[in-house]
Amino acid sequence: MWMLFYSIITLCEKMTKYEKGRVTMTFTEPIRKYILSGLVAFVVIGLIVANVMASKQDDKFKINEALYTQAIQLQSTGDMTGSADAIKNVLKKEPNSEMANYAASLIFAQNGDMKQSAIHMQKTLDLNPYKVEDPTFMIQLGEIFVGAERFEDAKTVLLRCQESAWAPEDIPNYQEQVATLLAHIENSQLKEGTKNE
């Protein structure tokens, strides 16, 4: 690479003429050919490097996709420990993957680890703030926050669900579930209030 730049500089020095305090450059036919071949070589080398880097990234993606698929398959067969281990491996390699964090949240919730589930659900929301417009995600987030005893966060999420008046077809009693979770939060906070007195 340095050789290419050196030869271009050398060519430029050969083309430079000093006449009466002015610097002028003349390009002869061989010099134009050298410049053109140097630029073509530079572009070709750049394309080769980009191709090599892209193929390495493709291999990494395929490995992570296989681990993610394995985690989902283990979850669907009921092997919760295996699915948790598989999703942890995915998260080690891709900690900022929205899908992996979402799957991890659901897997940890099914395993009963609601605090870990809430962490991954929150990270999913941080990675994709548009999830606040997804009614299914929002009610899951509210349920997980309730399970993790993050009542204020759960209340904020569930009030958003209530204000949006969502009624998705796949969850016919959506608003009733929201109301039940809000009532559960109120009861839990009342119990905590009486314990503190």
Query: Mean pLDDT for the chain?
Result: 79
From residue 64, alpha-carbon distances to 37, 60, 121, 125 in Å are: 41, 6, 20, 21
* pLDDT tens profile 64-119: 566 666 666 666 677 777 778 888 888 888 889 888 888 888 888 888 899 999 99
Q: State yes or no: pLDDT of 132 exceeds 90.
A: yes
pLDDT value at position 77?
A: 74
* pLDDT tens profile 104-119: 888 888 888 999 999 9
pLDDT value at position 59?
A: 54
pLDDT value at position 86?
A: 80
pTM: 0.64
* pLDDT-derived band at 47, boundaries 50, 70, 90: confident
pLDDT value at position 181?
A: 92
pLDDT value at position 189?
A: 80
* pLDDT tens profile 168-182: 998 889 999 999 999
Provide DSSP, 130-187: GGGG-HHHHHHHHHHHHHTT-HHHHHHHHHHHHHHT---TTSTTHHHHHHHHHHHHHH
Contacts of 64 (CB under 8 A, 6+ apart): 90, 93, 94, 97, 100
User: What are the structural domains of the chain?
Assistant: 26-94 (no CATH), 97-189 (1.25.40.10)
